[in-house]
Chains A and B, each alone.
Chain A
Amino acid sequence: MIRRGFGEIVAVLLALLFLLPILFALLNSFKTNGEMLRSFVSWPETWQFGNYKQVWKDMHYPRALWNTVLVTLFGVGFTLLFSAMAAYRISRMKGSRGFWLLMFFTLSMMVPFQTIMIPLVKLASELNLMNSRFGLVLMIIALFSPFTIFLYRGFMTQLPAELEEAARIDGANVYQTFFRIIVPLLLPVTATAAVLNVLWVWNDFILSFLMLQREEVMTLQLTVYRYFGTYSQQWNLALVSLILAAIPVLIIYLMLQKYIIKGVAAGAVKG
């Protein structure tokens, strides 16, 4: 019993130690800059909620958040839709055609982003897609779908064929079969794919960094990168920007932690 209690205490201390950087960032974000430079480890004399108000305004927080939500929602939404459609057709192909199509898409899972980055920037500026959230969404769909197709296809090959045949005999065409019969069955794998893609797209830096250079269209990660650079002399405000950038995803994580941990683990093993 005593040993168990000792174990609990050690575990809690370990967890606290693990969270130390976050706790100190939080603590210091409520200080004035002068107070912070006197001591980084002291308790705030008065809690400066004004820091948050100022950074909220300075980094145009609502706008950056909205841009991120927009890009993530459309990027991931269409990635899931197009990937499920493609994976369905690929998994139902006869002979080796399906295999080669899958190879064609999964090729990109081996290629690091840096390898296509330079011509992609050139292409984007020629197509007038620079500084366009729409353009970014198109690229997200193109670059994030292969993994999602891979995930969906693996799942679909295990679905029983009888369901589809029954639907066809009932007179459903191929689109009705897909949207009414197949799509509802995909829920578990869609949850995995959605969790992974949302995390990746929400936290994406390099692709959006190259594509979105005007402040009005910047996502949270880009804004925080810019803000942290500009305010490196005012650590307290820079810390606020970090916390504001991390908070939406942390809230969602705490609410859905069970599904998120499960989804990420399932996807990671398959990829």
Chain B
Amino acid sequence: MSSGASSKLRKFGITLSFIGPICILYICFFVVPLGGSFLYSFTDWDGLQSTFQWVGFRNYTDMLWNSGDFRDSFLFTLKFSALNIVLVNVFGVLLALLVDSKLKSKYALRVIFFSPNVISLIVVGFLWKFFFSSVLYEMGTKLGWDFLTYSFLGNPDHILYPIAGVSLWSSVGLAMVIYLAGLQGIPGELKEAMHVDGAGSWTRFWKMTLPLLMPAIISNVFLTTTNSFKVFDLILSLTGGGPANSSQSLAINIYREAFTANSYGSGTARSIVFCLFIVIVMLVQFRVMRSKEVSA
């Protein structure tokens, strides 16, 4: 009896020694702040004073009905994500086909197209800020190509496109690599069979390659979706959220609300809504993935 209890205790001690370190850190720096966010979202805390009042759902109702900046940043993030998901995946497949071909340069091309993925997004944003406003402009004037002299980062109405372009540049390499793995997983016999059947390369792509790439498409769409919704570093360095706040993503909006406007209460409320939104998107994705697995 006592030996059973002591062996149980010993087992618990072993488990604790394996899981304890990460548990403590995880609870301290993730679980506690998460709970904190939830609680603070019902207060008017400004982050400076030590006292605050409970305000019920006011932060939430204000956010949904009164603050235009939150709505704008929500819309911007949705538009950016939609554009980014399409661009990254279309070009990802195209580049994968290119570097899966018989070209001698295909290995070098893979390394080149993937390279922006290892550079920090802060650096990428600044790099393109320079490129847009100086090099492209001068090339446009010298070559007489007016479309290059356009103030890419200066027009609030079209700011979405240069940002999506830079985002494409920085992340298409990863999509390419995942699609490449998918392409290489297609058995050679299948390709040959299609050749024998006399299918043209266009039909072959739509009827065979694309359906067989489905798993890669699913993981890539998931990946780009969550990454686009969370976009922060890239926009911070490329446009700083401007001009005139036209490119404030949700992540930037929350950051500014908390640390520039000093509204911790409202900032946490926004961050909770942001989180719920992402969780819902991910759950929908899991559902879709499940159903695809069943049908496949």
Contacts and interface: CB of A to CB of B under 8 A. Distances in A.
Which of A139, A203, A254 has the most chain B CB atoms inside 10 A of its CB?
A203
A28 to B, nearest CB: 8
Contacts of A22: 127
B126 A123 contact: no
A225 interface: yes
Interface residues of A, number: 80
Interface stretch (A46-54, A56-64, A103-111, A160-168): A103-111
A203 B271 CA distance: 23
Nearest to B177: A265
Interface string A1-25: 0001001100110110011111011
Contacts of A254: 111
B34 A115 contact: yes
Interface in B2-57: 14-15, 18-19, 21-23, 25-26, 28-30, 32-34, 36-37, 40, 47
A116 B30 contact: yes
A138 interface: yes
B36 A110 contact: no
Contact of A20 (B26, B131, B134, B229): B131
A169 interface: no
A119 interface: yes
A116 B33 contact: yes
A118 B260 CA distance: 12
B232 interface: yes
A259 interface: no
A158 B28 CA distance: 31
A242 B33 contact: no
Interface in B65-80: none
Interface in A100-133: 101, 105, 108, 110-123
A123 B135 contact: no
Contact of A242 (B29, B127, B134): B127
A40 to B, nearest CB: 4
B279 to A, nearest CB: 5
Contacts of A15: 105, 108-109, 112-113
Nearest to A119: B36
A224 B26 CA distance: 30
A117 B29 CA distance: 10
Nearest to A206: B232
A117 B19 CA distance: 25
B63 to A, nearest CB: 14
Contacts of B267: 118
Which of A110, A121, A265 has the most chain B CB atoms inside 10 A of its CB?
A265
Interface in A153-189: 174, 178
Contacts of A88: 18
A120 B29 contact: yes
B274 interface: yes
Contact of B233 (A8, A25, A41, A205): A205
Contacts of B19: 85-86, 89-90, 101
B255 A117 contact: yes
Given A8-B105, A11-B105, A118 B22 contact: no
Contact of B126 (A101, A242, A271): A242
For the residues of B in contact with A, the DSSP-based class is helix
Contact of A122 (B22, B47, B128, B274): B47
B138 interface: yes
B219 interface: yes
A125 to B, nearest CB: 10
B268 interface: yes
Contacts of B180: 265
A86 B18 contact: yes
Nearest to B104: A8
B36 A18 contact: no
Which of B103, B111, B122 has the most chain A CB atoms inside 10 A of its CB?
B122
A70 interface: no
Which of A142, A235, A257 has the most chain B CB atoms inside 10 A of its CB?
A142
Contacts of A203: 118-122
Nearest to A83: B22
A250 B115 contact: yes
A11 B111 CA distance: 13
Contacts of A253: 115, 118
A111 B126 contact: no
Contacts of B259: 121
A218 interface: no
Which of A15, A19, A206, A242 has the most chain B CB atoms inside 10 A of its CB?
A242
B254 A114 contact: yes
Contact of A11 (B109, B174, B271): B109
A122 B36 contact: yes
Given A111-B30, A114-B255, A114-B271, 11 more contacts: A21-B169, A24-B135, A40-B134, A90-B19, A110-B275, A112-B229, A113-B251, A115-B34, A115-B274, A265-B180, A268-B223
3 closest A-B pairs by beta carbon, nearest first, are A119-B36, A203-B120, A142-B29
21 contacts: A11-B105, A28-B134, A82-B21, A82-B25, A85-B19, A101-B19, A110-B282, A115-B272, A116-B33, A116-B34, A116-B36, A117-B33, A118-B264, A120-B33, A122-B264, A145-B25, A174-B14, A254-B111, A264-B174, A268-B219, A268-B223
